[in-house]
Amino acid sequence: MTISVEKINAIIASEKATFLENYKRIVESPSVSAQHEHQNDIRETAQIAAGYLKEAGAQFVKIYETRGNPVVFGRITNKEGAPTVAVYNHLDVQPAAKGKDGWTRDPFAFTEENGRYYSRGTTDDKGPAMTALWGAKIASQLGVPTNIEFIWELEEEIGSPHFESFIEEARKDIRAESVLVSDTLWLSPSTPSITRGLRGLQGFLVRLRTGQKDVHSGVTGGAARNPITELCGLIAKCVNTTTGEILIPGFDKTWKKPSQEDIDDHVRSGFTVENFKAANKLTSLRVNTPEEVVSRIWLSPTFEVHGIAGGYQDEGLKTVVPPFAEAKISMRLVPGQKPEEIAKLFTEFAKSIIPDCEIELEHGLLPYAAPSHLAQNDYIAKAYEFGFGAKPASVREGGSIGAVVTMAEKLNVPVLFMGMSLPEDSYHGPDESFAWRQVEGGVRSFVKYFELLGSK
Amino acid sequence: MTISVEKINAIIASEKATFLENYKRIVESPSVSAQHEHQNDIRETAQIAAGYLKEAGAQFVKIYETRGNPVVFGRITNKEGAPTVAVYNHLDVQPAAKGKDGWTRDPFAFTEENGRYYSRGTTDDKGPAMTALWGAKIASQLGVPTNIEFIWELEEEIGSPHFESFIEEARKDIRAESVLVSDTLWLSPSTPSITRGLRGLQGFLVRLRTGQKDVHSGVTGGAARNPITELCGLIAKCVNTTTGEILIPGFDKTWKKPSQEDIDDHVRSGFTVENFKAANKLTSLRVNTPEEVVSRIWLSPTFEVHGIAGGYQDEGLKTVVPPFAEAKISMRLVPGQKPEEIAKLFTEFAKSIIPDCEIELEHGLLPYAAPSHLAQNDYIAKAYEFGFGAKPASVREGGSIGAVVTMAEKLNVPVLFMGMSLPEDSYHGPDESFAWRQVEGGVRSFVKYFELLGSK
C-alpha cells in the first residue's frame, strides 16, 4: 500500500478550515517561557494542546507537571506491536511585544497574508507541531500502522531546565524507538535540511550593582563606578569584538577548529552567503566566503551579547551614571564542549576582572551530533521528496535544542530532525511567520515518514 | 536700611500657600527637553513662567523664540539707574517615567512629604527659579532698589543649542551688569557652595546598524556582526573600564592633571567621601580618598556610558543578535579643553575602530572658571549666612551649564553661582525633591543678595 499525494491533498483541502482555527487558537495563547507574567498562558497552551491530541485520536494524553512548566504527552496507537515514533516539538515561544524589536504587527494576533501566517510561535515551534499532529491524524485515518507519540515541551526557549525530570517520570509511558524533532530550519526555500548536529549553549546574566539610583554624571562622574562601562570592558576581554574570536583564558583548549574537509563537506550543502544574508536581512558580516560563514555558524563556538540592560535607553542623552547594569550573554558550543566547563571558565574569568559582579547561569545545553547511518535518515529524505518534491541537503544547525541530548541519553534512542521552518520565517525575530506551503508539504512529509517507519 | 530676617519670614509665611500653588503648577508641566513628545509641555511651561513674572511685578516680559525651545525673559525695574542683575535658571527637566530608573513616584505629580517637595524638576531647576523669583518679589516689596532680570532657559538639559542665538537677539534688552546662576549643588546640607568653576561637556550618540531585524543567535551567530559587542569594544578602547582613565589617542595632550596644591585647596572645602557616597547612594567608588575623589569629580575629565540601547533589555535571556545598537556617551571637560577638539579626537578614533558607525554629536559645552576677586563673591557668602546661618565653602561643580560660558562671553559680564540644591535632592535621578528649608533660606538669601548689590 502506498498513499498518494492526491489522497492526502484531498483531506488537507477538506480539513484546512478546522486546522487554521486550531492553529490560530494555539498561537494566540502567548506562552512566553522567559517571562513570569505568562505563566497562565503557558498553562492555557498546555490545555489547548492536550485537547488537540484527544481530537486527533490520541488514546493516551497526559500533562506531566514538573517544578517548572508542564510537558504535554500523547500517543495515537494505530497498531499494537507496530513501530512507535515520538515527534518532539515545543509550544513555548520567545518574548515579543508590539512595536518593540521591529515588530510591526501585534505578536499574538494570528493573521494571514500572501499565504503566510504571522504571529509569535507560528514557525517556532507551534506551526511545525500542529503540522506533525495533522500528519499523524491523516496517517491514522489512512490506515498507517505506526504508533505516534507527541512530546510537547513548554520550556525549550529557556533551556529546558526541567525536561530531564519529565523524562525520568515519563519514560515508563514513552514507547518510542526513535524521536523525530521538528524544530529546525531548511537551508533555503527550495532545499530542506537533514540536520547532522546542533550547537550547545551556555547562557549568562552578568549583573553589576554599584549604587542605588541614577546619579548625575557631572556631580559624581570620574569617582563613581560605571557598571555599563565595566561590563563593556569585561565583554571586550572575553571576545575580540570585531572578529568574534573568543579570548577567555583556557577556552581554546575546549574545542578543535573544524578541518578543511569538514568545512568543504558542509559547503557542498548548497549554502550561499547571499541567501544567508538575504534571509536574515543582514547588511554586513564578519566574514564573506561560504567556507568561513559555514565554519562559524555550524562548526564553531560563539560569544554573543544579546543586550545590556540598565542606564538610559530612550531618545537622546541622559547624563547619568546608572547604579546597575546586566549583560545578557550566551555562548554556542560545538560537540566536545561541555556547558559546565564553559560556565566555569567564564565565571572565573569574569570574577577576576570584576570581583563583585554577580553571574546567573542560564541555558546549559549540550551540543549534539546525530547518528548518520540509520534507515530513518533515508526515510526523512524520501518524506521530504514526497511532501515537497525537493531533495534535502545535509547541514548542521547553529541553534540548540536542550531536550535533544536528554532524549538521546535518557531514552537511549536515536534523535533525528525533520524541520519545516524556512530561513525567512524570522525565528526569534520580529513578524515571525510560517508559510502555508510548509504546512501542506509538511503534512504530506509526516504522513510519508510514518508510513515508511510502519512498513519496516 | 537693613532688612531683617523676621520681616522676610513674615512675608514668607503669609505667601507660602500661593507660592506652593504656583510651584506645583510649574513642576507638574513635564517640560522634558530631550523628548520631542514634550514640545507642547515646554511651551506650556514657558507660558506659566511668563505669567509668574508678570504677577511678580515684572514690567518687561518676553518669550523669545529660537529655532529650538523658547527662552523666557523678564525684568523687575525697581529703580532706574540702579544696579541690574540677571538671575539665570532653566525650566526644562531631565526625562523621567514612573516605575523606570528607580522612580517610585509619579514624576510629574507634585507631592509633599516631611518638608520635601517631590517631582521631576523640583530641585533642577524649577525650585531654585521659583525661589529666586519669590526673593525678587519680596525685595521689590521691601524697597530694595536693585533691578532684577530673569533668564529662564528651556534647553539646558540638552546642552543649550539655541541659547547663543537667544543672547544675540536679546542682548539689546538685557541690562544686567552681572549674572547669578542658581543651578548648582551645596557641598552638604550644612555647607553652601561658592562655585569656582564648571566642567564642560561633549555628548555622543554612536550608532551601528548591521542588519534589519533581530536574528537567531544560533542560526546566524559567529558570522553575523553583533553591534552591541562592537560598541563594547569601542568603549573599552576609549577608556580603561575599571579606572576610568581616558585612552583616546591624543586626549592626554588636551588637559593637565591637577596639581597637588589645587587638589588640597579643594579638599579644604570640607568635602568628605562618606557624605559623597551617602548623598549619591553609591556602594563603591573607583577611588577612596577625598583627594582622589575631588580630583576626579571637579578637576578631571571623564568618559561615561549612560546606556547602550538595542538588543534585549527585559527579564532573562533572548538569544538574538540585534540589528542595531546605540551607545549613549558623554565626556566632561575641564578648563582648557574645547568640545570641538574632543569631538574630533573621539570621532576619528571611533571611525578608525568601526568605520561604518554613525556618530551624532550632542551637548558641546565649554568648561568655565568663575572670576574669584569680585565683591559679588562676598555678597554671595553674606547672603548665604543671612539666609541659612551657614558659611559657604569654595568648590568646583562637576556638572556643566551651557549657558554660563555664552553669557560670560557674549554679554561680557561676570557669571557667578548661588545654588540652592542639596546633594541628596537626586539631581537627574529618581524621586527628585527639593526641601522647604532651601526655599525659605533661599528666599532670604536672594533678598539679601539683591539688597547688597543695590547698596553699592
Question: Which of B319, B334, B360 has the most A C-beta neighbours within 10 Å, making it the best mutation to test the interface with A?
Answer: B319
What pLDDT shows up at residue A1?
61
ipTM exceeds 0.90: no
Q: What are residue A18's DSSP bridge partners?
A: none
What is the pLDDT at residue A152?
98
Predicted confidence (pLDDT) at residue B456 exceeds the cutoff of 90: no
Read off the pTM.
0.84
Count Cβ neighbours within 10 Å for each residue of B260-295 and write b for 16 or more, e otherwise: eebbeebbebebebebbbebbbbeebbbeebbbbbb
CA distance A398 to A388: 24
B160 interface with A at CB cutoff 8 Å: no
Residue A372: the pLDDT is: 83
Backbone angles phi, psi at B285, to 5 degrees: -120, 165
Cell of A288: 564573506
Report the residue from B223, B308, B398 with minimal CB separation from A219. B398
Closest residue by Cα to residue B108 from B164, B191, B35: B35
CA B142 – CA B377 distance, rounded (Å): 24
- How many C-alpha atoms does B273 have within 13 Å on its Cβ side? 15
B 310-369: CB under 8 A from A? 310-323, 328, 330, 332, 353, 356, 362-363
Mean pLDDT (whole number) for A395-410: 91
Q: Could you read off the pLDDT of B160-181 as tens digits, one per residue? A: 999 999 999 999 999 999 999 9
CB of B272 within 8 A of CB of B264?
Answer: no
Given this model, what pLDDT does residue B452 score? 97
Asked whether residue B230 carries a pLDDT value surpassing 90, the answer given is yes
CA distance B201 to A80: 78
What part of A 16-45 touches B (C-beta under 8 Å)? 34-36
Q: Mean pLDDT, to the nearest integer, of B127-139?
A: 98
Q: Would an 8 Å CB–CB cutoff place B68 in contact with chain A?
A: no
Stretch A160-172: mean pLDDT: 96
pLDDT at B87 over 80: yes
pLDDT tens-digit profile of B414-449? 999 999 999 999 998 999 999 999 999 999 999 999
Instruction: Note which residues in 105-144 of chain A have CB less than 8 A from chain B.
Output: none
User: Does the structure show a pLDDT above 80 at A98?
Assistant: yes
User: How far is CA B231 from its chain centroid?
Assistant: 28
| Interface mutation target, options A238, A263, A317, A404, chain B, most CBs of B under 10 Å | A317
Q: In the numeric block, which cell numbers belong to residue B342? A: 574632543
Query: What pLDDT is stored for residue B1 in this prediction?
Result: 60
DSSP bridge partners of A195: A395
Q: What pLDDT, on a 0 to 100 scale, did the predictor assign at position A400?
A: 87
C-alpha span between A99 and A106 (Å, rounded): 8
Q: Quick one: average pLDDT of B95-102?
A: 90
Confidence of residue A262 (pLDDT cuts 50, 70, 90): confident
Position B128 scores a pLDDT of 98
Q: Which of A89, A358, A158 is nearest to B318 (CA)?
A: A158
What's the pLDDT band for A159 if we cut at 50, 70, 90?
A: confident
Q: Do A302 and B222 touch (CB under 8 A)?
A: yes
For residue A169, what is the DSSP state?
H
Question: How much is the mean pLDDT over chain A?
Answer: 95
Beta bridge partners of residue A435, listed in sequence order: A116
Higher pLDDT: B383 or B279? It is: B383
DSSP secondary structure letters along B275-339: HHHHHHTBS-BS--SHHHHHHHHHSS-EEEEEEEESB--SSS---EE-SEEEEEEEEEE-TT--H
Are domains A5-198+367-454 and A202-255+301-365 of this chain identical in fold?
A: no
Q: What is the pLDDT of residues A187-201, one digit of tens each?
A: 999 999 999 999 999
| pLDDT-based confidence at residue A88 (cuts at 50, 70, 90) | very high
Per-residue burial over A315-346, b if 16 or more Cβ lie within 10 Å, else e, is bbbbbbbbbbbbbbbbbbbbbebebeebbebb
The tens digit of pLDDT for each residue in A225-244 reads: 999 999 999 999 999 999 99
**Tens of pLDDT along A14-35?**
999 999 999 999 999 999 999 9
Superfamily the domain A5-198+367-454 falls into = Zn peptidases (3.40.630.10)
DSSP-derived 3-state class of residue B261? helix
Q: Is A419 on the interface with B (CB under 8 A)?
A: no
Q: Domain A202-255+301-365 belongs to what topology?
A: Alpha-Beta Plaits (3.30.70)
The CATH fold assigned to B200-255+301-365 is Alpha-Beta Plaits (3.30.70)
Residue B92: closest CA among B44, B56, B136: B44
Whether B146 and chain A come into contact, CB under 8 Å, resolves to no
Residue of A nearest to B360 (CA): A316
Is-contact B410 B164, C-beta < 8 A?
yes
For residue range B15-73, list pLDDT tens digits in order.
999 999 999 999 999 999 999 999 999 999 999 999 999 999 999 999 999 999 999 99
For residue A361, pLDDT over 80 is answered with yes
Mean pLDDT across chain B: 95
Domain extents for chain B? Answer: 5-198+367-454, 200-255+301-365
- Tell me the sheet residues that pair with A87: A150, A180
Please tell me the distance in Å from A264's CA to the nearest CA on chain B: 17
Give the mean pLDDT of A361-382: 92
pLDDT in tens, B350-398: 999 999 999 999 868 999 999 988 999 999 999 999 999 999 998 988 8
Interface A–B counts its CB contacts (< 8 A) at 383
Look at residue B347 and tell me whether its pLDDT is greater than 90.
yes
**Rg, chain A, Cα only:** 23
Cis peptide before A125 (omega within 30 of 0): yes
Query: How much is the pLDDT for B372?
Result: 84
